[in-house]
């Protein structure tokens, strides 16, 4: 005999007010069961002659926080949310929405359809659908402008940012803030509405305040700059424009048409993938769920340079006491100055109070002695990227660290397993590859060495979440996942220069694709001397006889290290970060190609994009074969959060599926015929999947020929 699951929606009547309570933990998402039971409860109260008003509230820590992500990508089952919101708005009895926590997406649309909205003071409301490549589809774009005006509604809907209760009250999105018991306050509001004897105030019957077309022009311009390449903001704007020109019924119809069209778009699929993938990477295959993490209460960071200081800030921001160690007093003071200046800049922008800034600074304790690290639980090394330097550091750490302390290296390329052998406790050594600037970038590549203990892996994944990072567990390989793929893209970018492209052309192709910056502008920003130093250190890894481009060596030999010297691949006016194409670089490239015997030719943008992207995708397939990454989603999340891959394309492996692996494979074979097999031999996994008409993801459908 099957046992029926309890309803996620409760209903009780207090005197003449029906109290409908959604209880679908943890965040009361609008699953099919919630929609169905909420609709049934509403219809029950409407049919009950003893009920004169309705209050909709939620149990737990929040009001309805949006859609059920487990239903993303599936065919929605009725009842659909517009049916629920329409029943609420058309109710002959006043409906009061009691909001606490976060009333977002469909939850806020339920509130907008209600006749009265009361919120706790700490509540936040919003329509964040745009961040998933979607738009409100249950009346949000039609009702919000009627309450807050067109300009304000456009701002809320196109950014997707939550709005606190105080501002929502000021703008008219809610009617009241309750400082005491929210449910009792909502019941009192319902009784006042009953006593007043007025009919329900239906949002849809309000007039949209007049708005000049300039409002739409301004928001369209802003979204093109800040949300470049995204479809959803424009769809949102079109829907709000419909609210200004159509009746409610026609506007709702237009909104739904736009919503369904957008929901079926590749961008929405990619952004859903990015959203869900961020959660998926936290679940590490092969790590038993019952492995207990080690306790981490105190942290140490070795190296007070830009990276070390940023890492120290990451931990201090999360409330961890941090020992920041340098062997030189002047270097230590410079590092502390870097930290203080970063915090001061954040405080000046209003992102941090003086008290919070002082608290975080107080958590960072400088030291010049390794002995001061004897009792900490996690030590993160962030020194110069040289194996001999790291050997000396880890030998000293090993001599003082307590048993069970986790010893982490922030190396970008070096062999973590080799570093572990510099200690007598390789099981406690792990890679924690932060990205610069560490206090800003969200990605953390946690690197499993050959002997890393499972509880160490569990701990660093947990720590990553605690300090606000998107932590991805990867294997120990040259460059791990992100830098290993980046090296392939950079190689092709250099080769393209030799063959006839310019730095500006290559960069523009990549920014048109969706990256914030192209590889040459990024190099200038980071400092070309860093890449040059790394190139020299890795010279022994080059395949004998394989093509190599030494243009970077020649640029750096001229003293052009990027923005910090006023010239790199581009030149920069004093005090400016705007890259300006430099004829001197083009002449250098022409002369270099002549000396190398490479004839310049016109290179079209499609070739540039394919060579830069497909080299990465092919390397990603090798990474998956070698189990350096456990799943395609791990590769995608690394690139989305560490390297600026456009989220609306889903990551390199997801994008490859959208293109069709057969198309990618065929292009790689063509490049192999043209340029040789050294760098263009298809990865076996890619060839296998392409032959089978499959994708990296099981649900992938191979596409017809698509221009990237």
**Residue numbers annotated as active site:** 109, 129
Residue 104 near residue 128, CB atoms below 8 Å: yes
Residue 138 near residue 82, CB atoms below 8 Å: yes
Q: How far apart are CA 153 and CA 145, in angstroms?
A: 5
For the chain, give the number of residues: 708
Residue 617 near residue 664, CB atoms below 8 Å: yes
Cα angle, residue 117 at apex, residues 111 and 119 outer, rounded to 5°: 105
Query: What are the strands, taking DSSP E only, across 72-133?
Result: 95-99, 102-104, 116-120, 124-126
Q: Which are the contacts of 217, defined by CB distance < 8 A and separation ≥ 6? A: none
SS3 69: helix
Residue 370 near residue 392, CB atoms below 8 Å: no
Chain-centre distance of CA 334, in angstroms?
A: 31
Nearest residue to 320 (alpha-carbon basis) of 297, 340, 336, 338: 297
Give CA separation, 577 vs 522, 567, 573, in Å: 11, 10, 8
Give the bridge partners for 57, in sequence order: 21
Q: Which residue has the tokens 């599936």?
A: 74
Q: How far apart are CA 39 and CA 27, in angstroms?
A: 19
Give CA separation, 128 vs 163, 432, 563, in Å: 11, 32, 37
Cα angle, residue 49 at apex, residues 44 and 50 outer, rounded to 5°: 100
Q: Helix and strand tally (H, E) in the chain? A: 28, 19
**Residue 421 CA neighbour count, 13 Å, CB half:** 7
SS3 92: coil
Residue 42 near residue 86, CB atoms below 8 Å: no
């Amino acid at each position: 005999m099957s046992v029926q699951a309890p309803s996620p929606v409760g209903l009780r009547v207090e005197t003449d007010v029906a109290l409908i309570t959604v209880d679908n933990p943890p965040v009361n998402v609008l699953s099919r069961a919630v929609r169905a039971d909420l609709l049934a409860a509403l219809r029950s109260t409407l049919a009950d002659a003893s009920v004169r008003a309705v209050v909709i509230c939620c149990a737990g820590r929040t009001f309805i926080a949006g859609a059920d992500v487990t239903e993303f990508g599936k065919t929605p089952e009725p009842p659909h949310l517009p049916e629920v919101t329409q029943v609420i708005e058309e109710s002959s009895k006043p409906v009061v929405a009691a909001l606490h926590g976060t009333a977002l997406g469909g939850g806020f649309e339920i509130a907008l359809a209600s006749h009265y909205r009361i919120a706790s003071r700490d509540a936040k409301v919003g329509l964040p659908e745009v961040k998933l490549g979607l738009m409100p589809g249950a009346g949000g774009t039609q009702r919000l402008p009627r309450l807050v005006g067109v300009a304000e509604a456009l701002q809320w809907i196109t950014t997707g940012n939550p709005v606190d209760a105080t501002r929502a009250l000021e703008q008219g999105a809610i009617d009241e803030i309750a400082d005491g018991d929210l449910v009792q306050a909502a019941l009192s509001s319902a009784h006042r509405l009953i006593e007043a004897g007025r009919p329900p105030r239906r949002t849809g019957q309000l007039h949209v305040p007049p708005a000049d077309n300039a409002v739409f022009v301004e928001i369209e311009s802003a979204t093109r700059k800040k949300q470049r390449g995204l479809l959803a903001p424009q769809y949102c704007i079109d829907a709000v424009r419909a609210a200004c020109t159509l009746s409610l019924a026609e506007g709702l119809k237009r909104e739904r048409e736009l919503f369904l069209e957008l929901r079926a778009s590749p961008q929405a699929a990619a952004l859903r993938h990015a959203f869900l993938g961020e959660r998926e990477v936290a679940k590490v295959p092969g790590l038993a769920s019952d492995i207990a993490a080690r306790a981490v209460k105190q942290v140490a960071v070795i190296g007070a340079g830009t990276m070390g200081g940023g890492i120290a800030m990451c931990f201090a921001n999360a409330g961890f006491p941090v020992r920041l160690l340098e062997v030189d007093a002047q270097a230590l003071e410079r590092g502390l100055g870097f930290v203080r200046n970063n915090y001061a800049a954040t405080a000046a922008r209003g992102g941090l109070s003086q008290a919070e800034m002082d608290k975080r600074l107080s958590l960072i304790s400088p030291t010049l002695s390794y002995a001061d690290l004897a009792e900490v639980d996690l030590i993160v090394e962030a020194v110069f990227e040289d194996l001999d330097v790291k050997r000396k550091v880890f030998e000293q750490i090993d001599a003082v660290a307590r048993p069970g302390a986790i010893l982490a290296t922030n190396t970008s390329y070096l062999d973590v397993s080799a570093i572990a052998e510099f200690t007598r406790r390789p099981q406690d050594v792990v890679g924690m590859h932060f990205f610069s600037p560490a206090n800003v970038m969200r990605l953390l590549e946690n690197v499993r060495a050959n002997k890393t203990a499972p509880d160490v892996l569990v701990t660093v994944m947990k720590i990553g979440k605690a300090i606000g990072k998107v932590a991805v567990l990867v294997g120990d390989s040259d460059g791990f996942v992100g830098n290993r793929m980046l090296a392939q893209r950079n190689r092709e970018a250099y080769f393209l220069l030799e063959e006839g492209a310019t730095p500006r052309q290559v960069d523009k192709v990549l920014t048109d694709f969706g990256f914030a910056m192209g590889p040459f502008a990024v190099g200038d920003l980071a400092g070309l001397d860093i890449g040059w130093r790394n190139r020299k250190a890795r010279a022994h890894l080059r395949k004998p006889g394989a093509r190599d481009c030494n243009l970077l060596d020649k640029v750096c030999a001229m003293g052009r290290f990027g923005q910090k010297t006023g010239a790199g691949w581009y030149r920069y006016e004093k005090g400016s970060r705007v890259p300006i194409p430099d004829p001197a670089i083009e002449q250098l490239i022409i002369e270099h190609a002549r000396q190398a015997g490479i004839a310049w030719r016109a290179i079209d943008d499609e070739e540039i994009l394919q060579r830069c992207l497909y080299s990465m995708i092919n390397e990603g397939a090798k990474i998956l074969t070698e189990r350096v990454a456990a799943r395609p989603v791990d590769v995608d999340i690394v690139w989305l959060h560490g390297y600026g891959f456009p989220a609306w394309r889903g990551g390199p492996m997801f994008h490859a599926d959208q293109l069709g692996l057969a198309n990618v494979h065929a292009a790689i074979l063509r490049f192999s015929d043209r340029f040789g097999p050294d760098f263009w031999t298809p990865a076996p996994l890619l060839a296998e999947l392409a032959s089978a008409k499959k994708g990296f993801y099981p649900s992938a459908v191979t596409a017809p020929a698509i221009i990237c």
